[in-house]
Amino acid sequence: MDLQTQKNRISELHSLLNQYNYEYYVLDTPTVPDAEYDRLMKELIDIEGQFPELKTADSPSQRVGGGVLEGFEKVEHRTPMLSLGNAFNAQDLRDFDRRIRQIVGDDFSYVCELKIDGLAVSLRYQDGIFVQGATRGDGSIGEDITANLKTIGSIPLRLKEPVSLEVRGEAFMPKRSFEALNKVKAEKGEEAFANPRNAAAGSLRQLDPKIAASRNLDVFLYGIAGVERDTVTSHSEGLNWLDTLGFKTNKERTKCPNIDSVIDFVESWGEKRPNLPYEIDGIVIKVDSLTQQDRLGTTAKSPRWAIAYKFPAEEVVTTLKDIELNVGRTGVITPTAILEPVKVAGTTVSRASLHNEDLIREKDIRLGDQVVVKKAGDIIPEVVNVLVERRTGEEQEFKMPTHCPECESELVRFEDEVALRCINPKCPAQIREGLIHFVSRGAMNIEGLGEKVISQLFAEKLIVDVADIYKLQREQLIGLERMGEKSIQKLLSAIEASKENSLEKLLFGLGIRHVGAKAAKTLAQYFENMDRLAVATVEELTAINEIGEKMADSVVTYFSKEEVQELLQELKTVSVNMEYKGPKLVAMEASDSFFAGKTIVLTGKLEQLNRNEAKERIEALGGNVAGSVSKKTDLVIAGEDAGSKLKKAQDLGIEIWNEERMIEELTK
């Protein structure tokens, strides 16, 4: 194809990928499967490889790019990033309100927003293109972290309007990402992050953007620092405008006519905040009118028109009764504090991770100590410190063992790790934890095989490896605790059903080091069956997007083991599926299917196929199944009792099929 044709195709790919990215990261309503997004991204990367002159800084392919940085350049903020004054109680808020009224009178309103506990960032756009991102620093000078901010999917590289502006926001790590990151760190024997805020800040200051990309960060934009046109008259209007430009703002905001409604908002979120998927540490209150903000002005450090109400950090005192040692599936020994049960942030806490021996020494934690406990990031129970002044002399120092508490093997501490590790591959605790992982929801998802049941089966020597799960018989289970006829039947049925899982579930369940759920799916989709993957070379593996050398080495090492080959043969013997069942890469490229490249919406009740079956079959033929009807919809398939989606399709003149017509096309 000529250069102009490729240029036009790149423009189309930019538009599609930016839209899909916006739907996934900002709206949280993806309209295409991951495989379709990956296919389009691969096409874009291939074209840019052939025509490097067409690669632009705002290309979706450039989110994670470039080598490791040597350091961060300094950035002088055009508009200072001021800090906010703090309020700690209702009276502080009323004092703030009184000061506002003294200057602007009584005719004004507030905007209340959640105070995200992350890292303040500034983003600069030129003609709609993201050109620079920086940390707050000291408020006047920050650091250029553009490469790392590009890895955050919710930050648009190109806006929906070619406007030049600078916006401010908070980059943060969602609770789920924080828990997953610390779990990986524990398995590697590394020190865990104390809270999501520290994790986010540490991630954005990595010199290698690939590390930042792996941390699954997010962002909420909360203000405009400078813009080329003067069309916004209030803070709330500004946030709404940011939404239309493609930015992600926090929707849990409200306008308040007076300080009483502000206090009501603050109190309500003090109770609701544990249910949020991200961490907040307060509420930000701002005067809405920009004219009134200008009139109120700023001090040297903070604006007079805004204040941050800070939630109190709940800390309680309890007794540390014992320290229990747990052996993870990778052999890491994790000490856990056993506490006198105490209520913290709404839940009863009786255990808290102590992470490693160094932390116990650093905090001088002893058995019988009175300790201060809080939830780090309102999520994970943590021992803050010891109340040394309350010691009676009966407290006992704790010493980490030299041998594994489960198998008696000598523990080792690798040079680059803070954790002790058992390296005996036959350690019962590691095997048990591996079995628990295998049946977990993200892996083989065998309902009824929870941690307690697995531990019981393992203790009774009814299962030794994962293949034994598929050999369980009713007679073996009938005498076990909490195992009646109905429970046994349900469990055996769930085990049988799991044999049909797609390959990626099995791969993740096997617990190959460095291979998470996403990587397992990538490998399964690429190789399509276990036999092909088992003989793959490092070169073949690293040629796949998202598979690095460390993961490739781990995969090759895993499949080279004789015991692994024997296990796979056992799983085959009991008929566990070894094939990938999702949309195949080759099928996604098919051009002879009617559905290929089309956006399809399913609505109403289907009789012959359920909704998921229809979706999977359409996607396997290259179609994109969306959740809502728009001008971009190519086809609507309407079952019985189809409602508003059908009407909208009719209004827009979109082609409509019934289920019979869909089945006819699917079976061609």
List, by residue number, the catalytic residues: 115
Q: Write the single-letter amino acid at 536.
A: A
Yes or no: say if 205 and 65 are a contact pair by the CB < 8 Å rule. Answer: no
Yes or no: say if 261 and 268 are a contact pair by the CB < 8 Å rule. Answer: no
Cα–Cα distance measured from residue 245 to residue 263, given in angstroms and rounded to the nearest whole number: 31
Cβ contacts of 405 within 8 Å, gap of 6 or more: 325, 327, 333, 429
Distance of CA 328 to the CA centre of its chain: 22
3-state SS track over 337-380 = EEEEEEEECCEEEEEEECCCHHHHHHHCCEECCEEEEEEECCCE
For residue 6 the two structure tokens come to 């490729």
Distance of CA 220 to the CA centre of its chain: 15
Q: Name beta bridge partners: 396.
A: 367
Yes or no: say if 199 and 173 are a contact pair by the CB < 8 Å rule. Answer: yes
Number of neighbouring beta carbons within 10 Å of residue 244? 10
Cα–Cα distance measured from residue 14 to residue 128, given in angstroms and rounded to the nearest whole number: 14
**Residue (of 529, 663, 528) closest to 607 by Cα position:** 663
Cα–Cα distance measured from residue 123 to residue 244, given in angstroms and rounded to the nearest whole number: 17
The label of the residue with tokens 């591996």 reads: 434
C-alpha distances out from residue 578 to 382, 437, 463, 499, 511, Å? 42, 18, 21, 9, 16
The kind and range of the H/E element at 385 are: strand 380-386
Q: How big is the chain by its Cα radius of gyration, in Å?
A: 28
